[in-house]
Amino acid sequence: MLLTLAAFLLAIALLVAVHEWGHFAMARACGVQVLKFSIGFGPQLWAWTSGRSGTEYRIGLLPLGGFVKMLDEREEPVDAAALAFAFNRKPLRSRAAIVAAGPVANLCLALLLYASVNWMGVTEPQALVSRPSPASIAAKAGFVGGERILRAGFVDEALQDVASFEDFRWWLARAALGGRNLQVQFQSAEGLAIRSAVLSFETLDVAHADASMFHSIGFVAPYSPARIGDMTPGAAALAAGLQTGDLVMQVDGVPIADAAQLRELIRNSGARQAPSTQQWLLQRAGQAITLAITPHQERDAQQMIGRVGAMIGGPPAMVQVHYGFLGGMQKAASKTWEVSLLTLHMMGQIVTGQSSVRNLSGPITIADYAGRSAAMGLEQFLLFLALISISLGVLNLLPVPVLDGGHLMYYGWEAVTGRAVSEAWLSRFQRVGFALLLLMMCVAVFNDLSRLLS
């Protein structure tokens, strides 16, 4: 809990600071006087005023936002000698650049974070796929489990090397959410000739971009051998004589490709009636052994399933993925661009009703993922920060009043018509924008609580 809170506060404070620094730095570059630079809201924890620039730097108790206050005649009277440094007196291009600099700073941070991970290297599961779910897209394409993914690319585009399973999942996510067919080059588990297949996503329902989407695709997790792990005392596995480290080869004469297939077979055994006794062929210390095992029937949520009381699945084979300076930067720029487009695409689908509002996440979910990623190591935490930074940047560029994108929308109107939006209309737009933002936050928090309580 402490790690989750610390990781969440660090993440939010950093992302807010970078966003506000973008506005601050561009304002200074455009000759605008900055009166106050604040990270956080609420009671003041620390403050310092620069004797040279007169800017007050401030840290508030609640790090859930920040602001940059600039000299502006619309907010307070400005001395005649200082009018040249007022925001409202600057040309349109300067005002637009100052407003856009915050979101752009978040996107640049994401690029730097992705590049840093590429340069440091990250250990990820090899691109070995598990047995696909029955009737899934992968199963229809002929995958049986254990294949090594070599290259991937959208149909009619050049194939690219796949570095890891996470790399392949990113291809799958983009293809599914974009409704594009994916061509995959792979090698079978037996190491035979290289083959190709096309995964068709044209009919995939992506209303919920979550684990169910990958279940429909067929690739939920990397390949893991059907090896027995820790067992529950008194459960079916221990009572039948299973031992930690046993490799399951067959169940009732059906060859077992991997842990995913074995787990699904056990669960389905209790779906309609009490499970019958199964004959398991094992490999133990180089010898073949057959044991009779009867799974127990238990209720899981709204359905009945079978269980044997054992962890199933050995650790996946891992690979170290890293790039040189130029390669890492190029890969980071590509990832930042693609994630930005995908984020914008998902937001568009939510607005048009093509995707469920349940995909919106709020502070509780963000805090949860912050803690999980921090527990997994520096590289995963940096990747999490990059993703949230992109989300913050893209969100702020949306043409919604109150957000930076709303102000850019006003400047677009001013550029076309030659006159600024009137104060009366600005007030109306701000109220609408605030209501929309509040509604979105309420939906996101409701989704968080629903996930937490489900």
Query: Which residues are known catalytic residues?
Result: 20
**Cα-Cα end-to-end distance for the chain:** 19
CB-CB neighbours of 337 under 10 Å: 13
Q: Which amino acid makes up residue 124?
A: E
Instruction: Say if residues 123 and 333 touch (Cβ distance below 8 Å).
Output: no
Closest CA to 189 of 224, 155, 140, 239: 224
Instruction: Say if residues 113 and 26 touch (Cβ distance below 8 Å).
Output: no
Q: CA distances (Å), 432 to each of 406, 429, 436, in order?
A: 11, 5, 6
Instruction: Say if residues 230 and 222 touch (Cβ distance below 8 Å).
Output: no
Contacts of 369 (CB under 8 A, 6+ apart): 384
Beta bridge partners of 66: 39
Alpha-carbon gap, residue 368 to 359, rounded angstroms: 15
Residues comprising the chain, all counted: 454
